[in-house]
Amino acid sequence: MLSMVNVNRFINTIAIPLVIGAYALFLLIDQAYKNESPLKEDHIQIVQKIGNIDGLLFGGSNAVYSLSAEFLSYHTGIKWYNASVLSELGTIERHKNFIRDLSARIDPTKVRYVVYSSMAPYAPGTIAGYQRGVIPRSKSGENLRKSIKPKISVFGYIRHKLFRHPEFQRDGLGDQVFENGYCNFTAERVVKHVREHEGISAEFLADYAIFFASLFPNASILIVSPSEYYGALRFDDSTFEQTLFEQTLRRKFYNALNEKYFKNTAIKIIFQSPYSSITQVCDAPFHGNEDGRLWRTRDLLERMREAVVATAQ
């Protein structure tokens, strides 16, 4: 009986706390990979090695997956860098501090283009979540809050994180390097088509536009609405609803800039076309795969050129 008491004591005082502590440490590591891949310090080290940069891509996971600095560099003849980070580091304050730190490592007066592509202004409740430091559900239905349940098993972590390159390995221009077999979006997933109130979105985007203009005084600031895959909704009245949303948001965005007494013709808002096929997306409606990234970056370049022509006129 005494030995049983000792065993129970060992379990309660040593074994259980040890398991809980190890699991908590695993969750912290798992969360760090989800929110900062690569870490912001990695971005800063890379841009310092590059030197002068002409164009910068900022934003969240949609820009990590779906925009290519390499494509833009090749087709514009100037140097671009993809400084997007997953979930925009979780809060507005952290994201803006990261952008300030990065701008201090380069010559910001030589930056000609800043593209900000984020899902935060469009998914209901996300802006409020970023302000509180809590990331709400994404449009794909995936819960992005810090959770007691990790997204990957311990075995999967060891296999993918320790002995292989991480899923979000970047190349020398900040573009994601896709791993074979990583993208697995299926038609069975629910594709929601809901939007934040246009006024809330417009205020958020106007604030970011002014922030970017203050850091990069000679740059064209392009606020970009990401491409998404709407599934079957692409073929019903959602097309009209989306057009109405874009028109209203565009008007309220420029009104918000005027109300802040900020006049800058180099600030534009751009709405990208939706993905036309499930074969263009990776693991969420707004995450392009390699083919989707190529298509979306080409679409962005065309719309950028249209915006420049409109400004000239």
pTM (two decimals): 0.76
In whole angstroms, give the CA distance from residue 302 to residue 305: 5
Check residue 223 and give its pLDDT.
97
Length of the chain, in residues: 313
Q: Is 205 exposed, middle or buried (0-12, 13-18, 19+ CB in 10 A)?
A: buried
Calculate the alpha carbon distances from 104 to 41, 53, 175, 209 in Å: 13, 12, 21, 18
In whole angstroms, give the CA distance from residue 182 to residue 294: 17
> Residue 38: is the preceding peptide bond cis (ω within 30°)?
yes
In whole angstroms, give the CA distance from residue 90 to residue 99: 14
Check residue 183 and give its pLDDT.
83
In whole angstroms, give the CA distance from residue 38 to residue 46: 11
218: three-class secondary structure by DSSP: coil
Q: Is 6 exposed, middle or buried (0-12, 13-18, 19+ CB in 10 A)?
A: exposed
Tens digits of pLDDT across the chain (313 residues): 556 666 566 566 776 777 676 666 655 555 544 444 446 788 888 888 888 899 999 999 999 999 999 999 999 999 999 999 998 988 899 999 999 999 999 999 999 999 999 999 888 888 888 877 655 444 333 333 444 555 445 544 444 443 333 445 889 999 999 876 678 887 666 666 778 889 999 999 999 999 999 999 999 999 999 999 987 554 444 565 678 888 999 999 999 999 988 887 899 999 999 998 999 999 889 999 999 999 999 999 999 988 765 654 5
- Domain ranges, ordered by start, for the chain: 1-35, 38-312
Check residue 140 and give its pLDDT.
37
In whole angstroms, give the CA distance from residue 65 to residue 76: 20
Check residue 308 and give its pLDDT.
67
CATH fold of 38-312 reads Rossmann fold (3.40.50)
H or E, element range at 215: helix 198-215
